[in-house]
Structure 1
Amino acid sequence: MKTQEFLETLKEHQGKSLLFEYAPNLLVGANYHITEVKHVTIDSVDCGAGVDAWKETIIQLWEDPNELGKTEFMSASKAIGILSKVGSMKPYVADADVRIEYSNANFHAAQLYVNDYEIRNGNIIIKLASQPTDCKAKETCGVAEPVGAASEAGGCAPGSGCC
């Protein structure tokens, strides 16, 4: 989801509680805070010597250990207030992909894509998903189809002109 769409979705549902589903049926605790917003520019070179650049908005969530047992989630309205203040200090790139950075004691730190959202029981539930790594230079490297590991592909072996 793009940053502008994410912000508009929250504005559209300001009266609802804002929940984040970081894995199927697993929610970020009600004790979460928005602790940082990153405006990131990625400037990359892939294994086939292709260059690319794009922007991302990364919103970091943190569960406050002093608020364990909290049951009332942040409202979409409060989140919009926080994100609007950030946007007034450092403007957003509207078409930047938005990601949510999160971890807890049972889930590794990850930057998760906003995959979808759902309205349920007066809540807006932001559905997060990971995105697997991939070879962006399949044609250059001679990789015919996606495979689990580069070593299995044979196309990105030393001397192949890829890696």
Structure 2
Amino acid sequence: MNVIDKTLSNDIQLGALLAALDAHADAPLVFRYDGRDVKAGYHVTEVKTGRFDALDCGANPESWTEIFVQLWDIDEDGRTHMPSGKFAKIIRKVSEHVGLPMSAKLTFEVSDGVAPMALYCAATPRIAAGRVSVELAPRPASCKPRDRWLVEEKAKSGCCAPSANQSCCA
């Protein structure tokens, strides 16, 4: 059976993303997904938070807070990629209004306005060639009891923490 081992996660939390962007506020922020950069005119069309309470497939109760950032991948008005500081300012404005927890799970919803939205997790930003690049990886389904078991097994074997170049779905 082929199964994605998601325990090698680099699924950045909101606070860590904002801290990285603050350090390079004037640099263009470029999200990458499906092997390409978002278009220079992309919009942050919505930022929302949700509190989820559920039972997993093992009948275990689960609770978490998740933040969704919706990106509209369009090219408009000859604009350049948004500066990192502007993105951080948008997120902080929303945070002041709805109280976004900085430790919450972060999910990006991306669409070009034609294709259906797809869900992505974000890796730690990388700084190169004068821009901040954030790699988005598809967020697959998972089995939480299995994920917890894998973490326990790796802890028993002394396995190392994930490296900085691994995506959340590695």
SS in 1 for 2:86: helix
Q: Provide TM-score, normalisation by structure 2.
A: 0.72
* 1:14 matched to 2:14: no
Give the structure 2 partner of residue 74 of structure 1: 82
Secondary structure at the aligned position of 2:85 is classed as: helix
Q: Which has the higher contact order (CA 8 A, sep 6+)?
A: 2
More strand by share: 1
Kindly provide the amino acid, as one letter, of the partner of residue 112 in structure 1. Answer: Y
Partner of 2:45: 35
State the one-letter code of the partner of 1:2.
Q
Asked whether the equivalents of residues 40 and 55 of structure 1 are also in contact (C-alpha less than 8 Å), the reply is yes
Residue 19 of structure 1: how far off its partner (Å): 0.3
- Whether 1:117 and 2:128 are equivalent positions in the alignment is no
- 1:63 is displaced (CA, Å) by 3.1
Change beyond 3 A, Cα 1:97–1:32: same
Shift in Å, 1:4: 0.7
DSSP 3-state at the match of 1:116:
coil
Query: Is 2:26–2:84's contact at 8 Å kept on the other side of the alignment?
Result: yes
Task: Name the aligned partner's letter for residue 17 of structure 1.
Answer: P
1:14-163 equivalences under 5 Å are 14-24=25-35, 26-64=36-74, 67=76, 70=78, 72-104=80-112, 108-138=116-146
Relative to structure 1, is the Cα distance of residues 127 and 138 closer, same or farther in structure 2, using a 3 angstrom cutoff? closer
C-alpha displacement of 1:11: 0.9
User: How far apart, in 1, do the equivalents of 2:60 and 2:131 lie?
Assistant: 43
Q: Aligned-pair distance for 1:128?
A: 0.7
Quote the RMSD (CA, aligned, Å).
Answer: 2.1
TM-score normalised by the chain length of structure 1: 0.75
- Find the structure with the greater CA-based Rg: 1
In the other structure, the counterpart of 2:152 is none
Consecutive aligned runs of 4 or more in structure 1 exceeding 3 Å deviation:
105-108
Contact 1:21 1:28 (C-alpha < 8 Å) held by counterparts: yes
**Runs (5+) with no aligned partner, structure 1:** 140-163
Structure 2 CA distance, aligned partners of 1:137 and 1:82?
36
Q: In the alignment, which of 8, 14, 23 is matched to residue 3 of structure 1?
A: 14
How many residue pairs align between the two structures?
Answer: 136
